Amino acid sequence: MKKYSLIYADPAWSYRDKCNSGERGANHKYDLMSLTELKRLPVWDLADDNCLLAMWWVPPMPIEALQVMEAWGFRLHNMCGFTWAKTYPKQTDKHAIGMGHMTRANTENMLFAVKGKMLPRIELFARENVEGWHAWGNECDSNVILQSASAHEAFISEKFHLMLQGNKHAEIDTPKTTGVESITPVTA
């Protein structure tokens, strides 16, 4: 079975309150899974030895979200990695009013969890260095060299120009800068 280093999940949570009046609840929109069904889903078979789980969870069910995460073999890194403020499907400029009984909440949160080791992380346009992260930016001590692709583009352009002139085996110097794909960590 193929293994994945990133698993993105939006489980079909089964709410305690079914919101049957006006057929507003999730159970009226798609098939739901019980907490037991979610926990038994063999996500552990999909996860590589080092894997990041990005999983949406609903505000009334934080404990259940943690139970699913643990059942799948992950440990919590951040409970609120992202927050999704829902909008109306046909009026995306207006926030939807949630079905909550206390606050009419309209958000879902994404937790980040890890199996094995944290994968290498980099912040681009960083303002400061953070422990455990590589950084590139003009306001921090960059520990990664990231150079413009312009030198690579010039190399390709020159090679193409020579080929158009009939010199198919043109020898030109490869530039020292090969573009974005040549990210090289700086070692002290």
pLDDT in tens, 107-148: 789 999 999 998 788 888 889 998 888 888 888 898 888 766
- Cβ atoms of 48 and 118 within 8 Å: the answer is no
Residue 4 is inside which H or E element, if any?
strand 4-9
Same-domain pairing of 115 and 144: no
Rounded mean pLDDT, 158-187: 53
* Residue 42 confidence (pLDDT): 96
Alpha-carbon span 151 to 103, nearest angstrom: 55
Q: What are the backbone angles phi and psi of residue 33, rounded to the nearest 5°? A: -125, 140
Q: Tens digits of per-residue pLDDT, 63-103?
A: 999 999 999 999 999 999 988 877 767 766 766 565 555 66
Same-domain pairing of 145 and 175: yes
Per 3-state DSSP, the chain is made up of helix, strand and coil in percentages (nearest 5) of: 25, 30, 45
- Cβ atoms of 4 and 51 within 8 Å: the answer is yes
Structural domain that includes position 79:
4-119
* Residue 14 confidence (pLDDT): 85
Say how far residue 151 (Cα) sits from the centre of its chain.
30
Same-domain pairing of 110 and 127: no
Same-domain pairing of 16 and 102: yes
Residue 94 is inside which H or E element, if any?
strand 91-95
Same-domain pairing of 81 and 31: yes
Residue 80 is inside which H or E element, if any?
strand 75-85
Same-domain pairing of 125 and 55: no
Q: Please report, for residues 164, 168, 170, the alpha-carbon distance to residue 155 in angstroms, rounded to integers and kept in the order given.
A: 14, 15, 12
Same-domain pairing of 104 and 134: no
Residue 64 is inside which H or E element, if any?
helix 62-71
The candidate with the shortest Cα–Cα distance to 47, out of 120, 114, 121, 119, is 114
Same-domain pairing of 20 and 113: yes
β partners of residue 76: 113
Same-domain pairing of 128 and 145: yes
Same-domain pairing of 100 and 136: no
119, 149, 180 - which closes a domain: 119
* Residue 85 confidence (pLDDT): 74
* Residue 174 confidence (pLDDT): 47
Same-domain pairing of 66 and 129: no
Average pLDDT, the chain: 77
Q: And the tokens for 92?
A: 């995306």
Q: What is the total residue count of the chain?
A: 188
Same-domain pairing of 153 and 94: no
pTM of the entire predicted model: 0.64
The better pLDDT of the pair 123, 170 is held by 123
